[in-house]
Amino acid sequence: MDAESERALAARVLGGDLRAVSRAISLIEDGAPEGARLVRELFSHTGRAWVVGVTGPPGVGKSTLVDRVTRVFRSRGRRVGIVAVDPTSPFSGGAVLGDRIRMQAHAGDEGVFIRSMATRGRLGGLAKAAREAVLVLDAAGHEVVFLETVGVGQAEVDITYAADVAVVVVAPGFGDDVQAIKAGILEIADVFVVNKADCSGAEGAVARLEAMLSLGEPSQEDWRPQIIKTQATTGDGVNDFVSALDRFREYAAGDDLRYQRRCRLEASELRRLLGEAFWRHVEQLVSPSELDKVTAQLARRELDPYTAVDAIMERALAQRDADRNS
């Protein structure tokens, strides 16, 4: 793809063309340089979407809930984007089918864009791809973007970093419900949902969450995470959930919290991109066999890792100076 067609694609994304959005996300998912250049084109047009991170154990009803909430935002005339990460988790094989059913529910509605992203064994790259997919949806004019992840590992915590509000969903009897959530996720939650309120044990799950919350540090000093009970299949409690989201949005705007969180996200993105860029630079400079030699020296304790890093850094910087002067 040449620069001109990339700019054309970016322009179509900005115009809200959903096929262009789909193509752009594919390029990003492939990790192609075109994806990075697209982000460059689009970035200044982003930052308007309200990003709702929804995470929780497999099968608790996250997709069903997002679907319900999407209907509410559609009735308010908002364009909604949904990025569902790891639908092929080994814990819930049927989820891709579920996503397909859900896409049918909004079929023909140009105001809803749904995209699933599989891990395909590259967790590190997934947080980046998900974050950039959100940027594309944002640039295309989606006012609300849901970022659904299965909350089982550190990668999901990282992904939730890209959200303006973090929602954790649990359900009674699901892998010990509350215990199944990774500790780090409890701390980032702004709103809790106990879904499947029709199933026995929902009250118990609420009580266990309350107990856990009283022990841990809240995500914000003066925001006590709310616990909402829902039955996503019927829509019961969904309005309460939307109200909780609205309240948090107001709170976050007033407190400049949204801006602070974005600073935190951009700081970590910047660090990650710098690391990647520096590593690419090193790879051009130091051959794989040389790196193998260093690795072997480290393993044999002939060299310590800090000295190794210093030496490589110095070489990279010296090379840059030499390139400049030539």
Ligand X SMILES: Nc1nc2c(ncn2[C@@H]2O[C@H](COP(=O)(O)OP(=O)(O)OP(=O)(O)O)[C@@H](O)[C@H]2O)c(=O)[nH]1
Task: Tell me the number of residues near ligand X by CB under 6 A.
Answer: 19
* Residue 62 within binding range of ligand X, rule CB under 6 A: yes
* Residue 55 within binding range of ligand X, rule CB under 6 A: no
Q: Give the per-residue contact string, 87-126, with ligand X (x = CB under 6 A; - = no).
A: x----x--x--x----------------------------
* Residue 70 within binding range of Mg ion, rule CB under 5 A: no
Angstrom distances, CA of residue 60 to CA of 36, 149, 288, 325:
34, 12, 45, 60
Residue 80 DSSP class? E
* Residue 199 within binding range of ligand X, rule CB under 6 A: yes
| Least separation in angstroms between CB 150 and Mg ion | 7
* Residue 150 within binding range of ligand X, rule CB under 6 A: yes
For the record, the structure tokens of 255 come out as 């407190």
Q: Which does 233 bind (CB under 5 to 8 A by kind): Mg ion, ligand X, none?
A: ligand X
Backbone Cα Rg of the chain = 22
DSSP secondary structure string for all residues of 136-205: HHHHTT-SEEEEEEE-SSHHHHHHHTT-SEEEEEE-TTSTTGGGGS-HHHHHH-SEEEE--TTSTTHHHH
The interface region with ligand X, picked from 3-11, 118-126, 195-203, 240-248 by CB under 6 A, is: 195-203
Residue nearest to Mg ion (CB): 63
User: Which lies closer to ligand X via its Cβ, residue 92 or residue 220?
Assistant: 92
* Residue 63 within binding range of Mg ion, rule CB under 5 A: yes
Angstrom distances, CA of residue 56 to CA of 147, 187, 247, 276, 303:
12, 13, 21, 30, 43
Q: Which does 225 bind (CB under 5 to 8 A by kind): Mg ion, ligand X, none?
A: none
For the record, the structure tokens of 159 come out as 């992904």
Coil vs helix vs strand at 107:
coil
* Amino acid symbol at 241: F
User: Which lies closer to ligand X via its Cβ, residue 35 or residue 98?
Assistant: 98
Residue nearest to ligand X (CB): 61
Residues 6+ apart with CB under 8 A from 163: 51, 52, 53, 147
* Residue 232 within binding range of ligand X, rule CB under 6 A: yes
The interface region with Mg ion, picked from 31-39, 58-66, 215-223, 229-237 by CB under 5 A, is: 58-66
Q: Using CB under 6 A as the criterion, which residues of the chain lie in contact with ligand X when the complex forms?
A: 58-64, 87, 92, 95, 98, 150, 195-196, 198-199, 231-233
